[in-house]
Homo-oligomer: A and B are copies of this chain.
Amino acid sequence: MIDAHCHSLTRDWTHVDAPAGPSWRRCFTEGDDPRVLAEVPALLGYRRFLAALADRLDAPRDEAALVSARDALARADPAGYLRRLLTDAGVERLLVDTGFDGPAALPLPDLARLAGLPVDEIVRIESVAEAVLRDGVDAARFADAVEERLEAAVAGGAVGFKSVAAYRVGLSLPAPSPGEARRAIDRLDRAAHGRRLADPVVVALVVWRAVAVAARHRLPLQFHTGFGDPDVTLPTADPALLTPLLRDRRAEGCPVVLLHCYPYVREAAYLAATYPDTYLDLSLTLPLAAPGAARLVAEALAMCPATRLIAASDGHSYPEMHWWGAVVWRRALSDALDREVAGLDPAAAVAVAAGVLGGNARRLHRLERSPAERGTLDA
């Protein structure tokens, strides 16, 4: 499996035990309130996770006892424990969005060394734009400066881009005219937007520049869609709002990945079935809705080609999340394909699973190429 959308570990990932409950609880909800975290043990999906991890580690299922056993293992041999989980999950490569967690996150070279696996970078475009604003730039130069940094990221080996427009301004992202763009940049409170860019016109401008760079190199642009942040108001994050962009000739050649998608899985599968170069992963959806995972994967595969579905964990902070995402994906996919005996012989079912778990991402992110060649097109 290639984990096509995940995040790095926190630097102190070997330590999960905490007075208010294990710190991995925050990976099982999008809420950030202590009262929400206190109710994570009442999630049926979390109960499944505890049971599955306890079985794997040969540890007790009780949360506190499991956490003790896990912390002991992780601290005794961090690399060994991490590799044990990744091997068990069959993960062989990680594509990591680096726009999350800031300085607390393990740098990618450290992660790669520790995991003993290739680790590639997905660049969050709003973070790049915020860095440009923080560094100071003339309004007239802003968009070009963003584009230059995105180009530099490709030259440096990045395997794709990601946008979080969904929870900044929603997914209605008409390409601004040059005049609109200039006026929007002029009225930006740059200091504030250096921290958190949330102007609809400027975000759309950044997205369309990223589309241009992505199309130039045939590297994908991932969009956060649906749930996944307490800031999001769901209807504005419906992936179907991206339809005008997917249809737009100016986006021709830019592969788009619809991340997460919950609750709009059916919508996303329709888009992936209808527009070229459109993919969906259900990354955060599967571990957070684990008891419904088989149904959600089946809904996706009922509508979109198996070549358009991509597995990912959205794991972050603790390696159990990467492991759990992979475990849930494998089980759900196996369940969905088991029902397809009428149309798929066993060899064909294995080929479909291999594509969803890795082949599709390998092709889409051009992973077979060396970093220096990744962004170059064939003549």
Q: Is the interface of A mostly helix, strand, loop or mixed?
A: helix
Task: Find out whether the CB atom of A344 lies under 8 angstroms from the CB atom of B44.
Answer: yes
Cβ-defined partner of A48 (8 Å) among B47, B270, B342: B342
- Using a CB-CB cutoff of 8 Å, which residues 282-322 of chain A contact chain B? 288-293, 295, 298-299, 301-308
Q: Does A375 contact B (CB under 8 A)?
A: no
A32 to chain B, nearest CB (A): 9
Stretch with Cβ within 8 A of B (4 or more), from A110-118, A156-164, A230-238: A230-238
Residues of B within 8 A of A303 (CB): 45, 262, 288-289, 292
Q: Contact mask A20-35 → B, CB, 8 Å, 1/0?
A: 0000000001110101
* A103 interfacial by beta-carbon distance below 8 Å: no
> Contacts A234-B240, A299-B292, A343-B48 known; A305 to B43 CB distance under 8 Å?
yes
Q: Check B227 against A270 for contact (C-beta < 8 Å).
A: yes
Complex contact B240–A273 (CB within 8 A) = no
- In the bound assembly, the distance between CA atoms of A339 and B355 in angstroms comes to 29
Out of B30, B50, B273, B339, name the residue touching A43 (CB < 8 Å). Answer: B273
Q: Verify A302–B233 contact, CB threshold 8 A.
A: no
Take A31-B274, A39-B307 as given contacts and tell me if A47 and B348 are in contact as well, using a CB distance cutoff of 8 Å.
yes
What are 12 A-B interface contacts by the 8 Å CB criterion?
A40-B305, A42-B307, A44-B301, A44-B344, A47-B348, A49-B343, A51-B343, A227-B274, A235-B241, A263-B264, A288-B303, A289-B303
Given known contacts A240-B234, A298-B292, A301-B291, A274 and B30 CB-to-CB distance under 8 angstroms: yes
A residues adjacent to B (C-beta < 8 A): 29-31, 33, 35-36, 39-40, 42-52, 227, 230, 232-235, 238, 240-241, 243-244, 247, 262-264, 266-267, 270, 273-277, 288-293, 295, 298-299, 301-308, 339-340, 342-344, 348, 352, 355
Q: How distant is the Cα of A40 from the Cα of B304 in the complex, in angstroms? A: 9
Cα A5 to Cα B232 in complex, Å, equals 29
- Pair B343/A302 contact, Cβ less than 8 Å: no
Residues of chain B with a CB closer than 8 A to A263's CB: 264, 266-267, 270
CB atoms of A235 and B240 under 8 A apart: yes
Q: Residue on B with the closest CB to A288?
A: B303
A31 to B274, CA, bound (A): 4
Q: Are B340 and A48 in contact (CB under 8 A)?
A: yes
Among B30, B290, B306, B307, the residue within 8 A (CB) of A273 is B30
B residues in contact with A50, CB < 8 Å: 343
B273 pairs with A262, CB closer than 8 A: no
Determine the distance from Cα of A172 to Cα of B51 in the docked complex, in whole angstroms: 41
Taking CB atoms, residues of chain B closer than 8 Å to A33 are 275-276
Q: Is the CB of B31 within 8 A of A275?
A: yes
Considering the complex, give the chain B residue whose CB is closest to the CB of A337. Answer: B44
> 6 tightest A-B contacts by CB?
A292-B302, A47-B343, A263-B266, A42-B305, A234-B240, A48-B343
With A47-B344, A343-B44, A343-B47 as contacts: A31 and B273 at CB distance below 8 Å: yes
Which residue of chain B is the closest to A237 with respect to CB atoms? B240
Please pick, from B30, B52, B339, the residue contacting A342 in the complex, using a CB distance under 8 A. Answer: B52
Given contacts A44-B302, A342-B48, contact A29 B230 (CB under 8 A): no
B44 touches A306 (CB 8 A): yes
A359–chain B nearest beta-carbon distance, Å: 11
B342 touches A270 (CB 8 A): no
Residues on B with beta carbons closer than 8 Å to the beta carbon of A232: 243
Tell me which residues across on chain B come within 8 A of A308, comparing CB atoms.
Answer: 39, 42
Residue of B nearest to A30 (CB): B274
Pair B233/A244 contact, Cβ less than 8 Å: yes
Query: For A51, what are the chain B residues with a Cβ–Cβ distance below 8 Å?
Result: 342-343
